Structure 1
Amino acid sequence: MTTIAPIEPENATGKAAELLGDVKKSLGLVPTMTKVMANSPALLKSYLALNGAVATGVLPAAVRERLAITTAQLNGCEYCLSAHTYIGENIAKVSPDELSKARGAESEDSHVQALLQLSNEIASNAGDVSDETIAAARAAGVTDAEIGDVVANLALNILTNYFNVLASVENDWPVVTL
């Protein structure tokens, strides 16, 4: 049962209605998470802005989806794990095997694995990353721009993970259990 009730777009008013309309226009649907976020238009607006900004970074969608899966698994967010597994496979065209490996911050691609492991260490240690992790990332070809984008993706993913767990948002994606 959700802790915060969703606002259906047809019942929304003011800024919430405007933002939910933007979501519908952009995606063709309004996911439950955004309906629940609409209770705080500032939250929904922030989420949409950060999501849009992160998409303009140097990391391709296939990597961003795996980062989201890694973080969702770490934070125990079934909603995000389910959403990003679906999006990763069906939109970003990541193989099911790679999506599954991302849950453990692993990949067949050493560069992607370095990004996933860096992300997990940043999240697990409040940004305090070991010299060994940085050296491994550098050895795998990770750039300064990618490190910055990993932090931006973490901010986005932690925002949605924490919100969905806190609000017990009803999962409207094909369920992937933790």
Structure 2
Amino acid sequence: MLHFPLPTAESAPEASRATLAAVEKAWGFAPNLMRTFANSPAVVQGAWGLLNAFEQSSFSPAERQLVMIAASVENACGYCAAGHSLMGRGAGLSETQVAALRAGEPLNNARLEALRSFTVTVVAKRGYASDEDLQRFLAHGYTPTQVLEVVLGVAAKTLTNYVDHIASVPLDDAFKTAAWSPADRKAA
């Protein structure tokens, strides 16, 4: 495992500074994962671009956070599961829904469960969703465009989850109340 410095908008490589400043402006601070990305201008710009693109998807804020939590749990990323659990609550997911997502359990809402299940399928099958998987998702009122948007969300989380796995990024104090470990997920 590598340990990367956690640069600030002032100490990051020159080409990373504007992106870190944009993160701080948007979120009120630059989380340690984004600061880790800033060691590479290409990575911080790519991650920020993917995250911002996903924000433009047709999903509601709660649905977007659901995708982020489900992908992070499936990828066993404690850092991202913690951060997105807090953001999910802020976006309108209930405590019960966040707890189910973190445990890898079905949700109590059929439409949201279809989104959770499809997201997990995309991660677990590395994008090789079957026709049955696709039809099950679409049957709950989602669109073919939203199939693509789930893949976008999974792409963003794959980048962030994998960097955290390699770098073992320290959890920010702001996320510690929502700390999560892969051991918290129920056996599939």
Q: Is the 8 A contact 1:70 1:105 kept in 2?
A: no
- The equivalent of 2:97 in structure 1 is 98
Partner of 1:155: 155
| 2:180 alignment partner in structure 1 | 176
Preserved contact between residue 2 and residue 170 of structure 1 (Cα < 8 Å):
no
Structure 1 unmatched runs, 5+: none
| 1:114-133 mapped onto 2 (5 Å cutoff) | 114-133=114-133
Match of 1:106, SS state, is: coil
TM-score, with structure 1 as normaliser: 0.92
User: What is the Cα deviation at residue 21 of structure 1?
Assistant: 1.4
CA distance in 1, matches of 2:121, 2:105: 10
Quote the offset at 1:2 in angstroms: 5.8
Cα distance in 2 for residues equivalent to 1:141 and 1:76: 29
1:51 aligns with 2:51: yes
* Distance in 2 of aligned mates of 1:105 and 1:64: 18
DSSP 3-state at the match of 2:91: coil
Q: TM-score, normalised by structure 2?
A: 0.87
Give the drift of 1:70.
Answer: 1.0
> What's the % identity of the aligned pairs?
27
Equivalent pairs, count: 177
User: Which ranges of structure 2 fall in alignment gaps of 5 or more residues?
Assistant: 183-188
User: Partners of 1:31 and 1:137 in 2: how far apart?
Assistant: 33
Q: SS at the partner of 1:69? A: helix
Could you tell me whether the CA contact under 8 Å between 1:105 and 1:117 is conserved in 2?
no
1:138 aligns with 2:138: yes
TM-superposed deviation, 1:118: 1.2
How big is each residue's C-alpha offset from its partner over 1:83-134, in whole Å with a ceiling of 9 and x where there is no partner?
0001111x20211110121232622221111111111111111211123222
